[in-house]
Amino acid sequence: MKFPVIVASVLILGACASPVPPSTTEAKKAPNSFASVPLSVAEPLLRTAEKAYIRHEYADAVEIWQDLANKGNATAQFRMGFLFTNGEITRPRPEQANRWLRPAAEQNHPHAQMLLGSSFAWGDGQARDLDRAEYWFRRAARSNDPFIVRMIGSYYQATQNAAADARAVPWFERAAALGSVGALVDLGRIFREGRGATKNLAKALGFFGRAAVQSDADAHGDLGEMYLKGEGRAVDYTLALKHLSVAATQGLAKAQFQLGELYRDGRGTARDLKSARHWFEKSANNNNANAAFSLSAMYLGGELKARDGITRAYSWFVRGLRAQGLNPSVLIHQKLRPMTQG
């Protein structure tokens, strides 16, 4: 079952080391959807399971969830379904995930409804059915949880077709109205790229601006790039520097690279090669190939002085190739081979 990484970051209870998966027998048991477990009994057990999970005592956690799920507890059914959804402690088994998610969804567990809708949207473990997906998404959205509403938009957007992109827009708008800063960024990118809605750079700037006021790094990064390129308004290197500085400080590799370029070229600020090197190094260490190549060029061209400048230039060049997923040794061999053939 495909779902954005952000889902896992919110729903996963703890990191996994050497997990113990549910047994095959357990996986095949049909959950008893409507058996009752008093909350006074279920809630302490669920807390115990979550603590066990966080301690990486997976077998103990699964045993509790399995028992409660078979007795009809929706939270436990969701936990079991999620384990089979993301392959966190066993390989992904979408059919088994859906067997647990469905009864939890029928009991109005919003996260189960969201994931069940996703399984219909992607056709994971069952026939693809966008109408059923929409049904479960709408039921999940009744919770008015901004995370859930935003993720529904993300599911449509991830299908990468024009019709689904258009369906994503109202979900992002609703999530933004419910307070999701990330949804403001999503909307900004939709109007910046013209994906799912008519391209409107003024609207894009507006959405990014609303998110940036709330210190969102992605919003600052997009704003900085738009001012840098003159999208929706005249080029403004001073504003580009301002927004890229915020995004870079918060760790965005692309913004770090672009900020390095501004300092190197003296745009929006006085030329400052020391600051340029600082931000290029930050970006390169975040696996940005362009930043590594820029450092290589600066050492090779003498803009950055060092006794071992050639060695550093070579080292950063190799780092850049590796950041692109290339094998420097293979490339060098390919270049040398024609020279060694008679």
**DSSP conformation letters of 215-228:** T-HHHHHHHHHHHH
- Predicted confidence at residue 13, as pLDDT, reads 36
Residue 8 is predicted with a pLDDT of 41
Lowest-confidence segment of 156-160, 245-249, 252-256, 303-307 by average pLDDT: 156-160
- Average pLDDT rounded to a whole number, residues 161-177: 90
The most confident of 31-40, 108-117, 122-131, 328-337, by mean pLDDT: 108-117
| Separation between Cα atoms, residue 175 and residue 153, nearest integer Å | 9
Tell me which residue range forms the domain holding 51.
1-127
According to DSSP, residue 57 is labeled -
Half-sphere exposure of 85 (CA within 13 A, CB side): 31
Select, from the ranges 31-45, 186-200, 323-337, the one with the highest average predicted confidence (pLDDT): 186-200
* Tokens standing for residue 31: 């959950």
Residue 300 lies in a domain: no
Q: Is the dihedral of CA 81, 82, 84, 89 positive or negative?
A: negative
Q: Are 157 and 168 in contact (CB under 8 A)?
A: yes
For residue 306, being part of any structural domain is answered with no
Q: Is residue 142 part of a domain?
A: no
Domain count, the chain: 1
User: What pLDDT score does 338 carry?
Assistant: 54
Rg value, the chain, Cα: 25
Average pLDDT of the segment spanning 116-145: 92
Q: What percentage of residues in the chain have a pLDDT greater than 90?
A: 71
Portion of the chain with pLDDT greater than 70, in percent: 86
Is the Cα dihedral 17, 20, 21, 22 positive or negative? Answer: negative
| Residue 222 falls inside a structural domain | no
Supply 67's token pair: 């028992």
Residue 114 lies in a domain: yes
Mean pLDDT for the chain overall: 87
The answer to whether position 241 is within a domain reads no
Residue 213 resides in a domain: no
Instruction: Kindly report the CATH number assigned to the domain that includes residue 119.
Output: 1.25.40.10
Measured distance CA(286)–CA(292) in Å, rounded: 10
Looking at residue 342, its pLDDT comes to: 47
pLDDT of residue 36: 66
In order of 13, 73, 205, 267, 282, the CA distances from 110 in angstroms are 17, 14, 33, 49, 40
What's the pLDDT score for residue 43?
Answer: 93
Residue 339 pLDDT > 60: no
- Domain-located, residue 230: no
Q: Write down the pTM of the prediction.
A: 0.79
Higher pLDDT, 86 or 332: 86
Looking at residues 60-79, what average pLDDT do you find? 95
